[in-house]
Chain A
Amino acid sequence: MPHAPHASTDLSIEMFGRQLVSPLTVASGTFAAGREYAEFTDITRLGAVTTKGVSLTPWAGNTGKRIHETASGLLNSIGLQNPGVETFCEKDLGWLADHAPDLPVIVNVSGHTIDDYVGVIERLEREPAVFAYELNISCPNVDAGGMVFGTDCTAAAGVVAAARAATKRPLIVKLSPNVTDVTAIARAVADAGADAVSLINTLLGTAIDPLTGRFVFDRRVAGLSGPAIKPVALRMVWQCAQVLDIPIIGMGGVTGGCDVVEFLRAGATMVALGTVNFGDPGAVGRILTELDELCARIGVTHVADLIGTAA
């Protein structure tokens, strides 16, 4: 039976005092800054675009193989390769200013040291297009910095406090799932001045070639993403929602409108699409359509009414 026609759902949500056209963003590192996917999907339907991690100086990323497909998942060891903040401003922010001037931009910030993070933010303060910063303190694919900050409450609070002092813009902190109690870190970064948290970054994993006995990745370990991690991500978002009163951006294995609704119900205000973009370059448009239809079936006229409704 065809669905009864419905007045389409109001998909807008409010984030940091700004009305966004939808609760969807993209997961850092899976969408570059939007340009590559703009040929396949209308990126302006995103509430915000989240960029690939940006560092103060150019980073070369990791040697060897960088991805390995697993059952319903993907291991990656990209290692935050990026051309540095200066080139990022010129190329990526430049392209966005020309092609999607009204699309809010969340810049994912990486660093090896606290000074690195602060340096990136200081440079980006001069760019009016930046809507918010997402501090990546949870990358499992680099040695210094990265996850080292995100798995220790004191270290995490230290980076966040320094970043907080460097900007008045909204500060999102991206959390690692590779901890015993994610709520402890979430509380620590909220107390240090974070305006929101995003989670989850990838789960630490590895893969070994059964015939040669060699590790697939030069760094041995890599980060797991995709549908395989969704139940873990959803649980962590829900746990954080119980203890925080700042918004949450939920992510991890979203592949369709149903997953988005689950994350919203668990307490996320926004939901990010990551690995799904690889298998479906039109995922943004498809999932918004599915979300709209699902809201109609549930009977909510405003998507924001779903937030935190899991019972």
Chain B
Amino acid sequence: MSCMCEQKHDVDAPIRAHVPIGAGAYALTLSAPALAARVQPGQFVEVGLNQPDLVLRRPFSVFDTDGETLTILYQALGRGTTRLTAFRPGTVLRVAGPLGRGWPASDPGARVLLVGGGIGAAPLHMLAVRLSGVDGTQVTLIQAARTAEALAGCDRLADAVDTVHYATDDGTRGHQGLVTEPVAAALEAGEYDVAYVCGPEPMMQAVSALTVAAGIQTWVSMERLMACGVGACLSCVLPTRSGQVRVCVDGPVFDAQEVDWDAARSSRVH
């Protein structure tokens, strides 16, 4: 439910910094004090790219904030993000947010498992920073990507946690192979109270199957194609145990046990 305390804004946000972070990904910092003051870990923004032929904005999770700026990490993939890479500091983008419901807080002193896949790890950073300030909370991160280079963009995420394990497809850093293997090993070796998982949908489904089976409260951040991003158009619906919900306002974060993973398959982005 929206209320005045989570007021959304649509603002002109000048680009403050825009740097490549390797493997086709970029860190984009936007000046947006009204949004930065309110954004919670796991929330996202809708970024207008000033391209008349692209009628939709693009949704991105907030990676970091200093209370005045917002930083997003994005992968250059399609028409919009490819063009975005050329935008220089000073360019003004239209940005709406903060949007959606982010990661629910864990109890103080909780043993927390973060699992990130590729650029999907971005929304975990604000959460990790938040958790690192809570006394007694122990945070373990398992971060997977295609290559070591693709992991590098998220070094700041690793800095914010207590323990890190890596997995890469090509074995250039950490475990070679699927992220489920180090996750299974971590569950064998230690006890966890809560898991926060973000990455490609098949990865989230596989990881949450393990953590849920281990009795761990598991939160996942879902992606769907979004036209409005504010709950009006029903383009982003996700089938759950309690019916169809809108990822943009009811999520993007959901209890993994609520998601109807099989029914969700037909509307996956990838």
Contact = CB atoms under 8 A, between A and B. Distances in A.
B148 interface: no
Interface string A257-276: 00000000000000000011
Interface in A1-43: 29-32, 36-37, 39-40
Interface residues of B, number: 30
Given A31-B232, A281-B96, A64 B267 contact: yes
Interface string B213-230: 000000000000111111
Contacts of A68: 225
A112 interface: no
A126 to B, nearest CB: 26
B173 to A, nearest CB: 30
Contacts of A74: 55-56, 227
B56 to A, nearest CB: 5
Contact of A69 (B8, B55, B230, B231): B55
Contacts of A29: 233
Nearest to B54: A69
A68 B234 CA distance: 13
Interface string A53-67: 000000011011111
Interface string A72-84: 1110101001000
A294 to B, nearest CB: 19
Contacts of B7: 39
A40 B52 contact: no
Nearest to A76: B235
Interface string B11-52: 000000000000000000000000000000000000010001
Given A61-B244, A74-B55, A278 B96 contact: no
Nearest to B268: A65
A66 B267 contact: yes
Tell me whether chain A's interface is mostly helix, strand or loop, or mixed: loop
Contacts of A211: none
Contacts of A67: 56, 225-227, 233, 235
A282 interface: yes
A39 B233 contact: no
Contacts of A275: 55, 227
Interface string A274-291: 011111111000000000
A35 B44 CA distance: 20
Contacts of B228: 30, 36, 277-278, 281
A308 interface: no
Contact of B57 (A31, A78, A279): A279
30 contacts: A30-B228, A31-B232, A32-B232, A37-B232, A39-B7, A39-B8, A40-B10, A40-B96, A52-B234, A60-B244, A61-B234, A63-B267, A65-B225, A65-B267, A72-B52, A73-B55, A74-B55, A76-B235, A78-B233, A81-B234, A81-B237, A81-B244, A218-B266, A275-B227, A278-B57, A280-B94, A281-B10, A281-B96, A281-B228, A282-B10
Interface of A: 29-32, 36-37, 39-40, 52, 60-61, 63-69, 71-74, 76, 78, 81, 218, 226-227, 275-282
Question: Nearest 3 A-B pairs (CB), nearest first?
Answer: A32-B232, A36-B232, A67-B235
Interface of B: 2, 7-8, 10, 48, 52-57, 94, 96, 225-237, 244, 249, 266-267
